Copies of this chain bind each other. A is one copy, B any other.
Amino acid sequence: MTLGESSEDQIIERICSQLTQRSDILVGPGDDCAVVQLENGALQLQKTDCVVEGVHFYPEEMAERVGWKAMARVVSDIAAMGGTPSSMLVTLILRSDTKLAWLEALYQGIQNCANTFDFSIVGGETSSAPKDSANMLSIAGTGNVTKDNLILRSTANQGDTIFVTGRLGGSLTGKHLDFTPRVKESQWLANHCKPSAMMDLSDGLAKDLPRLAKLSNLGFLLDPQTLPISPNCTVEQALGDGEDYELLFTLPTQQVEYLLSNWPGDLTPLTQIGILEQRSETNTALDGGWDHFY
Contacts and interface: CB of A to CB of B under 8 A. Distances in A.
Interface of A: 1-4, 6, 8, 11-12, 15-16, 18-22, 24-25, 28-29, 33-34, 36, 38-40, 42, 44, 46-50, 52-56, 86-87, 89-91, 93-101, 103-104, 107, 111, 114-115, 118-130, 132-134, 136, 138, 140, 142, 144
**Most B C-beta atoms less than 10 A away, residue of A22, A29, A50:** A50
A34 B138 CA distance: 17
Copies in the complex: 2
B96 A2 contact: yes
A89 B34 contact: yes
A125 B49 contact: yes
B22 A120 contact: yes
B87 A25 contact: yes
13 contacts: A2-B99, A3-B100, A8-B126, A12-B126, A15-B104, A29-B123, A29-B124, A36-B87, A48-B124, A55-B130, A91-B140, A129-B136, A138-B138
A29 B100 contact: no
B3 A123 contact: no
A52 B96 contact: no
B121 A19 contact: yes
A294 B128 CA distance: 34
Contacts of A138: 48, 50, 91, 93, 125, 138, 140
**A-B complex: 10 closest residue pairs judged by Cβ atoms:** A140-B140, A4-B96, A34-B122, A138-B138, A48-B89, A40-B40, A34-B123, A54-B130, A133-B133, A132-B132
Contact of A47 (B50, B53, B123): B123
B46 A3 contact: no
A91 B87 CA distance: 17
A169 to B, nearest CB: 22
A54 B100 CA distance: 23
A129 B94 CA distance: 14
B55 A129 contact: yes
Given A22-B118, A50-B127, A125-B48, A1 B89 contact: no
Given A4-B97, A100-B1, A89 B122 contact: no
Contacts of A11: 100, 103, 126
Contacts of A119: 22
